[in-house]
């Protein structure tokens, strides 16, 4: 009987050693998996950091481009004023009224700028005149055909930022202004 007990104990010991060996293999596999997962997490972290750096570079580039667009619009506005002045000078010359005063400033008044709620535009509007407002991405956010001398744009729904106001009369762009929404 002692031999039977010893044989059963050896069998139990062998099964226990096999179980311990299996657990050791599983722990080794789990350790390798943990190392692999940790390496993957490190790689993802590095990729995310690189992506954030690219995002910051892109954001800086967009800010620079927006500034350049605003400057370009201001230069364009000055050019449009000069073209309007030259057209009026040419018209005066053709009609023989060269002694008539030349109106360098167009009759359009836009105020206040910067604006919070209501942007007021005063002009001698004609049929077909168009007032448009664009965001800095070039998307038209407002368009209307004014019909009385005092025209208002409700700016309260728009986000704070810089907008471009374009006024077209008789098919000609006569005014482009930078509008700042506070």
Regarding whether 148 and 95 lie in a shared domain, the answer is no
Regarding whether 140 and 81 lie in a shared domain, the answer is no
Asked if 129 and 167 touch (Cβ cutoff 8 Å), the reply is yes
Decide which of 105, 140, 165 is a domain's last residue: 105
Regarding whether 110 and 98 lie in a shared domain, the answer is no
Per-residue pLDDT, 82: 67
Regarding whether 90 and 145 lie in a shared domain, the answer is no
pTM for this predicted structure: 0.49
pLDDT tens track for 98-124: 554 444 345 788 999 999 999 999 988
Asked if 97 and 87 touch (Cβ cutoff 8 Å), the reply is no
pLDDT tens track for 125-137: 888 899 999 998 8
In angstroms, the CA 164 to CA 18 distance is: 78
Regarding whether 111 and 101 lie in a shared domain, the answer is no
Regarding whether 101 and 32 lie in a shared domain, the answer is yes
Per-residue pLDDT, 142: 97
Regarding whether 96 and 134 lie in a shared domain, the answer is no
Instruction: Using CB atoms within 10 Å of the CB of residue 142, give its burial: 0 to 12 exposed, 13 to 18 middle, 19+ buried.
Output: middle
Regarding whether 87 and 75 lie in a shared domain, the answer is yes
Regarding whether 123 and 70 lie in a shared domain, the answer is no
Regarding whether 93 and 20 lie in a shared domain, the answer is yes
Name the domain count of the chain.
Answer: 2
Regarding whether 176 and 99 lie in a shared domain, the answer is no
Decide which of 77, 105, 133 is a domain's last residue: 105
Residues 6+ positions from 140 with CB-CB distance below 8 Å: 132, 133, 134
CATH number for the domain spanning 174: value is 2.60.40.3080
Decide which of 66, 83, 105 is a domain's last residue: 105
pLDDT tens track for 52-84: 888 888 887 787 777 777 667 767 766 766 676
Range of the domain at 41: 1-105
Regarding whether 6 and 78 lie in a shared domain, the answer is yes
Closest Cα partner for 110 from 97, 122, 128? Answer: 122
């Amino acid at each position: 009987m002692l031999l039977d007990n010893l044989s059963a104990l050896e069998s139990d010991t062998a099964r226990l050693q096999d179980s311990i060996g299996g657990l050791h293999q599983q722990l080794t596999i789990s350790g390798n998996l943990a190392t692999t997962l940790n390496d993957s997490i490190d790689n993802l972290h590095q990729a995310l950091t690189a992506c954030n750096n690219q995002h910051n570079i892109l954001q800086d580039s967009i800010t620079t481009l927006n500034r350049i667009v605003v400057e370009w619009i201001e230069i364009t506005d000055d050019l449009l004023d000069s073209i309007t002045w030259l057209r009026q000078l040419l018209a005066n010359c053709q009609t023989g009224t060269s002694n008539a005063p030349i109106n360098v400033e167009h009759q359009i008044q836009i105020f206040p700028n910067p604006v919070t709620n209501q942007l007021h535009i005063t002009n001698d509007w004609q049929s077909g005149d168009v007032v448009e407002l664009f965001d800095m991405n070039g998307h038209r956010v407002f368009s209307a055909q004014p019909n009385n001398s005092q025209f208002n744009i409700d700016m309260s729904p728009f986000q704070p930022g810089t907008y471009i106001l374009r006024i077209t009369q008789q098919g000609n762009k006569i005014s482009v202004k930078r509008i700042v929404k506070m």
